[in-house]
């Protein structure tokens, strides 16, 4: 009996040490990232593959030069990227032909790919010119969140759309998000100044965020997924609810649009670099009082997804970092 009691004590003590070590690791990492929003790295440059000239990256804090920027993070996407970019460029070119005021850019952010993603991306620059397609090379793999942050900070659009390189969401669904952003922005514009008129309205100046959503597909997904995947995803959603609060049912859909004013606030502060940066965006939107709208989009499963069951521990790690960082005020938010 005494031996059993001693074994139990050892087990409890070991669990306590593990928990204390885990908490210490979270606190130390959160402290290490306290200045990550400063982004003091040297300003990157775009390279024109035709002339080999360097083109200085603009800043999100500069005035907009395009109507819309599409930011595509890519990591080892040599096979899926061509189809997605071809579809995207086809849509953008057709729309520009119909509306001469419509201007655009596509920014492909290569997140340290080890395959031929860089070559594939630069082929699109050669085909469509560096004014319409640009490539940012991160050098080494940082994570999807960091790739999108980098693209957002150097985009030229009044509206900025992030979308995945696999083409899981049809690019023309951006019009759903675009229309909702315009509606909310105009409502806020007139609410703030009843004497204002539409001639002075600029959508880029009103902070609004639109989140593409697959929540309407959840019932079907629950019926087709394995029970343990459903259990883990439900648990993840609960942790997200406790961390960022309610408001957005599908935080992880890779199809999101922001006005330039919203992007300036959000991406100058975001610290999470991988899968859970989406949750941090929701948290920051609430902090800044940025209106959020969630819009159903068409989505299809594309083979080759980078998300797997091993991603769950990393997601929980990032959510713990975010919770500790903001709750202890180690992570300062700058407006």
CATH number, domain of 138, equals 3.90.550.10
When the pLDDT of each residue in the chain is averaged and rounded to a whole number, the result is: 83
Give domain status of residue 13, yes or no: no
The CA distance from 291 to 305, in Å, is: 30
In DSSP notation, 136-158 reads EE-SS---HHHHHHHHHHT--EE
CA atoms within 13 A on the CB side of 255: 24
Q: How far apart are CA 107 and CA 133, in angstroms?
A: 6
Report DSSP letters for 41-88, one per residue.
SPPPEEE-TTT--EEEPP-TTSPP-EEEEEEEEESS-TTTHHHHHHHH
Instruction: State the DSSP code for 194.
Output: T
Under DSSP, is residue 23 helix (H, G, I), strand (E, B) or coil?
helix
Residue 31 included in any domain: no
The residue with greater pLDDT, 79 or 194, is: 79
Measured over the CA atoms of residue 279, residue 281, residue 286 and residue 290, the dihedral's sign is negative
pLDDT tens for residues 148-177? 999 999 999 999 999 999 888 899 999 999
Least confident interval from 7-16, 29-38, 313-322: 7-16
Q: Which residue has the higher pLDDT, 287 or 56?
A: 287
Per-residue confidence (pLDDT) for residue 29, from 0 to 100 = 74
What is the pLDDT averaged over residues 312-328?
Answer: 84
Using CA atoms, how far apart are residues 161 and 288, in angstroms rounded to an integer? Answer: 20
Q: How far is C-alpha 197 from the chain's CA centre?
A: 33
Task: Domain count for the chain, please give it.
Answer: 1
Instruction: Supply the range of the domain harboring residue 298.
Output: 45-192+201-328
For residues 82 and 46, the answer to whether their CB atoms sit within 8 Å is no
Q: What is the pLDDT of residue 275?
A: 76
Structure confidence at residue 312 (pLDDT): 72
Burial class (CB in 10 A: 0-12, 13-18, 19+), 117: buried
Q: How does pLDDT run across 300-311, given as a tens digit for each residue?
A: 766 655 555 666
Residue 183 located in a structural domain: yes
8 is a domain residue: no
Flag whether 37 is in a domain: no
Q: Read off the pLDDT of residues 238-278 as tens digits, 9 standing for 90 and up.
A: 666 666 566 678 888 889 999 999 999 999 999 998 878 99
């Amino acid at each position: 009996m005494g031996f059993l009691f001693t074994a139990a004590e050892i087990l409890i003590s070991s669990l306590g040490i593990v928990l204390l070590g885990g908490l210490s690791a979270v606190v130390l990492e959160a402290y290490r990232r306290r200045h990550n929003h400063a982004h003091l790295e040297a300003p990157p440059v775009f390279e024109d593959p035709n002339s080999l000239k360097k083109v200085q990256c603009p800043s999100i804090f500069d005035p907009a030069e395009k109507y819309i920027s599409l930011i595509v993070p890519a990591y080892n996407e040599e096979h899926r990227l061509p189809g997605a970019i071809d579809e995207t460029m086809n849509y953008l070119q057709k729309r520009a032909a119909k509306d001469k005021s419509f201007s655009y850019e596509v920014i492909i952010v290569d997140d340290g790919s080890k395959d031929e993603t860089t070559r594939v991306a630069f082929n699109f620059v050669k085909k469509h010119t560096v004014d319409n397609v640009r490539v940012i090379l991160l050098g080494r793999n940082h994570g999807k969140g960091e790739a999108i942050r980098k693209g957002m900070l150097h985009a030229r659009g009044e509206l900025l759309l992030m979308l995945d390189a696999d083409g899981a969401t049809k690019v023309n669904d951006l019009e759903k998000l675009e229309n909702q952003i315009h509606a909310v922005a105009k409502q806020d514009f007139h609410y703030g100044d009843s004497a204002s008129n539409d001639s002075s309205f600029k959508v880029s100046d009103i902070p609004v965020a639109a989140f593409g959503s697959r929540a309407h597909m959840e019932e079907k997904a629950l019926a087709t997924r394995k029970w343990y995947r459903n259990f883990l995803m439900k648990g993840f959603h609960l942790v997200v609810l406790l961390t960022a609060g309610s408001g957005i049912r599908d935080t992880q859909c890779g199809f999101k649009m922001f006005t330039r004013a919203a992007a300036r606030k959000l991406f100058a502060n975001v610290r999470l670099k991988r899968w859970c940066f989406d949750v941090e965006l929701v948290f920051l939107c609430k902090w800044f009082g940025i209106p959020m709208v969630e819009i159903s989009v068409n989505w299809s499963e594309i083979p080759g997804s980078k998300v797997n069951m091993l991603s769950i521990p990393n997601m929980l790690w990032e959510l713990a970092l975010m919770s500790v960082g903001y709750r202890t005020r180690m992570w300062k938010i700058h407006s």
